[in-house]
Amino acid sequence: MARNRSDTLEPDWPRRQRPLAELNPQTGRAFLCVNYSQTSHIVGLPQAESDALLDALSAHLYAPEGVYEHHWRTGDLLIWDNLALQHSRDRLQGSGRRDLERVVLGGKLLEDQHPEWLARLKVRMSGQMA
């Protein structure tokens, strides 16, 4: 899995700074706000130091004993805390059509959390429906 770098993203691709850790408003527990593929760097650190810290955090977050990989079957339902769970996947090649449905319970919708993504999501969704 590759790490996105701010300087290699398309100019109109939204960027956002977040703290390294936040508190879950429902549980009060701290969680890391980084993931390998979407965190380009740590603001205020030299690139080499930022990369080293992100690599160390990633080694902990994605250690085999902490990874759950779901092998989907028709009718499966998964529920998770979307704030705290590190969820990602590599690109799927030749896997055929995927129909996913998402239901958000409580909290904020994606477009409320990241209004800068709304226009880009609409463009992508309209291209998929064509």
* Residue 91 covered by a domain: no
* Residue 25 covered by a domain: yes
pLDDT, tens digit (0-9, with 9 covering 90-100), for 32-86: 888 777 788 899 999 899 999 999 998 888 899 988 888 888 888 888 777 777 7
* Residue 126 covered by a domain: no
* Residue 102 covered by a domain: no
Number of compact structural domains in the chain: 1
* Residue 123 covered by a domain: no
* Residue 75 covered by a domain: no
* Residue 13 covered by a domain: yes
Question: If you write DSSP's letter for every residue of the chain in order, what string do you get?
Answer: -PPP-GGGS-TTS------SEEE-TTT--EEE---TTT----TTS-HHHHHHHHHHHHHHHT-GGG-------TT------TTT-----PPP-S-----------SS--HHHH-GGGHHHHHHHHHHHH-
pTM: 0.63
- Domain interval for residue 30: 6-70
